[in-house]
Each structure stands twice: as C-alpha cells, then as structure tokens.
Structure 1
Amino acid sequence: MSRRDEEKDDESSVSTVHDSILDLQQRQRAVDERQQEQQQQQLETDTSTATMNDDDNLSNDEEQLRQRPPATDTAVVPEVAATTNDKDQRIIDEGNYIDKSSSNSISHRIQHFFHDGKAVAVFFMITGGMAVAVQSGTNGSMRVIAGRSFSATANFVIGLMANLLAFAFDVLVLKTPRPRFSRLKESPWYSWIGGILGTYYVIINIFTVINMGAGTVLSVNVCSQIIMACIMDHFGLTGIAKRRITIWRILACLGLIGCVAVITIF
C-alpha cells in the first residue's frame, strides 16, 4: 500500500472519531433538555396543586364564616363599655398617682409604725428620757444634803437593787434563759465597761446640775449622745449594725447643736 493510501485511511479514521464525538454531544444535550423539561413540568404541577389547596382552604373559611351566627350588639356593647371604663379608670389612677404618692407613703409609714409596736417603744423612750431628767434633779438634791460621793453611791446601790428585781422578774416570770458562764467568757471586753461609763455619766451630772441647771446639762448630754451615736452607726462600733451617715443626719446634728446653744445661753 502506498503512502498516499495510508494518509487517506488516517484521515477517514479521524473523521469517523470526530463524528462520533459530535453525535455523543448531541445526545447528551438532548438528555439534558428532557430533564429540564421534566423539572419544569414538576414545578408547575406543584405550584398548581398548592394554589388549589389555598383556594380550597379559603373557600372552607368563607363557608364557615357564612354559617356562623352574627354577633348581637348586646354581647359587644358591655365588653366595649367595660374596656372603656377600665381605660378611664387607668387614666384617672395615673393622673392622681403623683398627688396621692406622698400621702400614701406617709400614711403607710404611720400604720407600719403603730402595727409594729414602735409606738409603745417610743412611749417608753420618752418616759425614760423624762426619768433621766428627774434623776439629775434628785442626784443634785442628794449632793446638797449628803455630798457628791454619797449621792453617786446611793444612786448605784438603789439601782443595783432595782436591777436585781428586774433580772428575777425576767428570768422567773418571763422565762428568759439565764446567762451561762461559758457564754460570758466569749463576750468582748467593751461589753463590760457599760457600768463604768454609767457611773461616769451620773457623777458628771451630780457635779454640774446644781450650778448649770437640769435643762442645760441634759441638753448638752443629749446632743453629745446623738452625735456620738451617729458616729458609732457610721463605723459600726461595739458590734452594732453600720448605718452610713448622710447629709440629713449631719444637718440634724447641726440643728441640734443650735438648739442646745439657745437653751444654754437663754
């Protein structure tokens, strides 16, 4: 076979392969187009089915609305009236809130004050303060008659007897548990100096009340007691609960100092 014949055979083989490739590409394109057409048809079918279902549901809802009996005015009017009344009452309450808030707070505090028994406690504190004022006068009278030292001694001896009676009444009648020695050993050191401080207070009153008068002595004592009490509250001294000193307490102490100055001078 000549060279020219071989070249012709090669060209015919290449042409055959090329035609086969083109045929395969055309078949693949046809398959892809058929798949796209099927997907489009399926999508249209699903859309139409969903639309039909929505139409059926809407028809059913309309049918139920037509079959439902109409609401009467007698059932609606009271509800609307009640809603309107509630809104009006809410507006009235909100409008009067500012006016009533202060008075309600004060009245609530007053009721809370009496219901908690604080009124009784205040009564006893007032009578206790009056007793201290009377005590200053009696100590001054005893000082004039028997001397300063005997006045203080008599004061505390009689006070000891009264305290023993109060202790017996508390333990025997009120059934308060008696103190135990083990607990007494645990008490801090400053819990034992109350008697010493009380003695100091009584002696100072005895020394000053005759010359300065009971009003001046007690006003100075009370003023110093309140200022020291505020300081103790602020720092929590002697184990008491802390209560921070405020500008209002400071102003009250300053006002108390002014009152003491007026009582002392005039």
Structure 2
Amino acid sequence: MKNKSILVSALVSSLFLTACAKKDEAASTESTVKKSVTVGSDLTFPPYEYLKDGVPSGVSVEIMEKIAEVDGTYKAEWVDTRWANLIPGLKGEKFDILFSSMYITKERLEQIDMIPYYKTDISLLVLNDSMLNPKGPNDLCGHTVGAMKGTAFSAQVHEISKERCVAEGKPAIKIREFETSPQTTQALLAHAVEIQYDDAAVLKAAESNLAGKVKITSTEEFFPTVGGIGIRKGDTETYKLVEEGINKIKASGDFEKILASYGLKAPTDEDIAAVMNK
C-alpha cells in the first residue's frame, strides 16, 4: 500500500512538472512571436528594391530589415505592387509603411508623412553605340525620352520640355512613359526611345548589369532630391517605430554602411529642410 502511494505521488509530480514545462514553453513561444508590419513597395527598381530569385532585395529592403531587427518586436512583410498603387494603398490601409525609394515632394507631403533617408539625382542612359551624348537637361530637346509613368521623372521631363525646350524655341521632347524602370530600359534596348531618364543609382545598376550595351552620359546636375519612407497621416505609432529604428542604425553606423554599399549617401540637414519645408 505504501509503495502504491509513492507511485501515485511520483506520477502526480511528473504530470505537474510536465504541465509546468509546457506552460513555460508556450509562454516562451508567445514572447518570441513577432507581429507583422506590411511594407508596400514597387519591387521592380534595382538597386533600391527588387526581387532576386523571388526574395525582396536592395537598399530599401536592407534598411527596413535592419530597422526591424534592432527593434526586435516585429517583422517586415513585403507587398509588391506597382507605383501608382503605393500612396492609395497606404491611405487605404493596405500597407503600414511605404518603402519604395519615393522622392519627397510637396504634393506627396500633402497626402502622407515621410521620413527622409537618402539623397540622389537623375542620370541619362543611352545605347552604347548611340551617336547621342546628352550631358544635361538642355540636351534632351527634340529627342525621344523614356521615363516611368506617374513618377517625378515623368513630371520633370515634361517640365524640361516646356521650360527649357519649347519656351526657348527648341523642339519639344517626345516623351514615352512605361510602368517600370526595367520596361523603360527594354524600350531603350529596342530603340523605342533614344534616352532613358531615371534615378542615378538605378541607371548605374542598369549600366553595370548591361555592360557593353548601354552607357550613362550625363554629367550635369538635374533635380537633386531626397527620398523618404511613407507613413499614413495620423499613424504616429508607426512613424515613431520607423523613426526610432532609423536613429538606432544611424548610431550604430549600419545605416551609412548600407547606403555606401549601393553608392548612395544620407541627406544633410540642409537637404532635408529644403524638401520638408516646401
């Protein structure tokens, strides 16, 4: 009888310890589960954001992933969509964040909040055997120029055509617009346009990837500008989450390292003031 009591007691203790272990395991698992933050991006724009073997890659992706890493409480869930869907998608709460190398403009700041993170300018790309050698905006007059639809690039080419070409008695620019930057480059390769007008880092990547087929000819300054991360107006929690993350990776030096690895640089305080106070 005594042995039976000992056996029952041991069995109860064993069940109790097992239950405690499972409870601790469940609590541990729960504490490591991270919430998802959806990030809208047009993943067709190397080297900023693109799909490499189906995996989001590029400078924007590396920065966002590093921000999430230093915070430790959430993970970025990337949503690939085309450019025209980005701001409407953010405003419609399809995404929590826009991280798509979006230039900061007065018009965009009226719709969304933006956190500055890099500075860039425009470059011009032509075929390697082209007789054209455009150095700056004034060299575009009378030529067929390709740019991404609905972007600052397209608006800038239209402005150049109106203000620097037509207004000065020169022939207008023939502007052709495409959904993505790679499509614009393909149009150049197919002789559908003579010049591609796009972000400097993007065309540097295209020149490298298509070595011997295309070349950058521009040397003049166009529209130096600052790119930012988009946050829905009124979403102070997400804004603070991203801003604090950016500040942490700046302090660690990781931010500058990531930008430098792609040939980019952070904007100065003066650069930021110029775009944020328009």
TM-score, scaled to structure 2: 0.25
Task: From the two aligned structures, give the one with the greater helix fraction.
Answer: 1
TM-score, scaled to structure 1: 0.26
Task: From the two aligned structures, give the one with the greater strand fraction.
Answer: 2
